[in-house]
Amino acid sequence: MGSENITGSDRDMDFGDSPEEAAFRLRLREWLQDNNPHLPASSTSDDYWAGQAAWHRALYDAGFFGMSWPPEIGGRGLPGVYEVIVDSELAAAGAPPRPSVGFLVEGILRHGNDDIKRRFLPGIVSGRDRWCQGFSEPDAGSDLASLRMHAQHVPGDGEAGGEYVFTGQKVWTSYSDEADWCLLLARTDPDVPKHRGISAFAVPMHQPGVTQRPLKMINGITKEFGEVTLDGARAAASDMIGEPGEGWSLAMTVVSHEREPGQLGYVARYRKSVDELARQVRDDPARFEAEQLRDLAWAIVEAEMLRLHVSRRLSDRMDGTSHGLEGSVDKLLMTSAEQAVGHAALSVGGTAHDGGDDTWLNMYLYSRAQSVMGGTSEIQRNLVATRILRLPAS
């Protein structure tokens, strides 16, 4: 179970920086002194989402984004643990977390052909092109394989491939208002079992037949998620990612990475929040009661646990151990951390009933989605029970 199968290394276990890692940390720390955009928390303000694209490009241009991806797609080719360093320095500087595009990158890296990878990945990694993810539908949430987005193949005039025409609706489409491209799952073959008839496409968002509508979330955010309706929108057949019918497999790659805190960079977000809450308590300790302090202490402990857990996971990958079932474990730990921070935000930060600052209330409200997005906690528990503990399927 767990890390039992991970092979060892020839040096002693070490949470500390190597000389190269220390030098990298210092460079990032110095860069952040002049380049922190001081955006509001991603969970509480649309201003964050408006500024995220510029932040992504700034991080990338300075050499602090895509640390562990291959150089040919714009990554730095370094061990995954560099992401831990990035996260901890971003948190320490009170800077925004790194943008989360890793699951798109991993999905396209694993399933796309060389042409697809060359055309699309550098733009995603550098932040030049904005992508959204068109997976969920109104009637296909946890049961994603029942999705109905229809893809009709239209052969070309003699040239290879032709194109596909899409009809249907997507929901929970992140950043759909700003996206240039959509990683779309659509049904290309209605006559085979539902998991096998799905294919994945890169679909341009700026074309006739695409309408998107923002979804207003319970914390008032409108720019993170949208609904997308496709009615006659098109993609070239050469923009299919993977083979026909490979969409489900690609989706599983993407969502398993979408569950990984190491990929998402949320450690920085949690740490920044608990540091701010701790500062409030230090500034006026008499204002707080034991129960509030306990909530804060748990948030500190949970955020720290997640940081260390990510360090462990990313270290385990150094020997090429491929990504596996542990993503569900990590998602549940990340959810626990996010919601502990949310409870501390509510408890220590408080609710302004007089119409004042509602940042902490909104952070708390935002934390409720963590046990749903990227696969509900219930689905993750099913996977842990049946795939890791090997309990019999229900």
Partner 1 sequence: MDVRLSDEQRALRDSAARVVNSLAPRTVRDLDDLERADKLDAAVDASGWRELRTAVDDGAPLASAVEAALIAEELGRGPADTAFLGPTLAAEFRRVAAAPTSGSLETVAFVPDLSALACAADGALPSRAVAIDARGATSALVLVPAPDGYLLAEVALPDTGTMVDLTRPVAAVEPAAVVPVPGQGRPITAEDLARWTSLGLALTCADLVGAMRGAVHLASEYAKTRRQYGAAIGSFQAVQHRLADAFVSLEGSRSIALHAAWSVDASPASDALAAAAAAKAYCARAGRAVCEAAIQVHGGIGNTWECLAHLYLRRALLSSDILGGVGVNLARVLEHHGIGEHHGIGSGHGLR
- Two structure tokens written together for 271: 């740490």
Nearer to partner 1, 249 or 292 (CB): 292
Nearer to partner 1, 64 or 225 (CB): 64
User: DSSP for 288-309?
Assistant: --HHHHHHHHHHHHHHHHHHHH
Q: List contacts with partner 1 (CB under 8 A).
A: 1-3, 6-18, 21, 79, 81, 84-85, 278, 281-282, 285, 288-290, 293-294, 296-298, 300-302, 304-306, 308-309, 311-312, 315-316, 318-319, 326, 329, 332-333, 336, 378, 380-382, 384-386, 388-394
Task: Write down the least CB distance from residue 338 to partner 1, Å.
Answer: 13
Nearer to partner 1, 43 or 311 (CB): 311
Task: Write down the least CB distance from residue 146 to partner 1, Å.
Answer: 20
Nearer to partner 1, 4 or 191 (CB): 4
- Two structure tokens written together for 285: 């300790």
- Two structure tokens written together for 150: 């229809």
Q: What is the number of other CB atoms lying within 10 angstroms of the CB of residue 291? A: 9
**Closest CA relative to residue 148, chosen from 157, 159, 158, 137:** 137
3-state secondary structure of 108: helix
Task: Write down the least CB distance from residue 191 to partner 1, Å.
Answer: 32
Residues 6 or more apart in contact with residue 378 via CB below 8 angstroms: 142
Largest separation between any pair of C-alpha atoms in the chain: 78
Active site residues: 258
CA 372, distance to chain mean position in Å, is 13
User: DSSP for 221-239?
Assistant: --SSEEEEEEEEEEEEGGG
Polymer length in residues for the chain: 394
Nearer to partner 1, 85 or 125 (CB): 85
**Amino acid code (one letter) for 99:** P
Round to whole Å and give the CA distance between 112 and 110.
Answer: 6
CB of 107 closer than 8 Å to CB of 185:
no
Task: Write down the least CB distance from residue 294 to partner 1, Å.
Answer: 6
Task: Write down the least CB distance from residue 5 to partner 1, Å.
Answer: 11
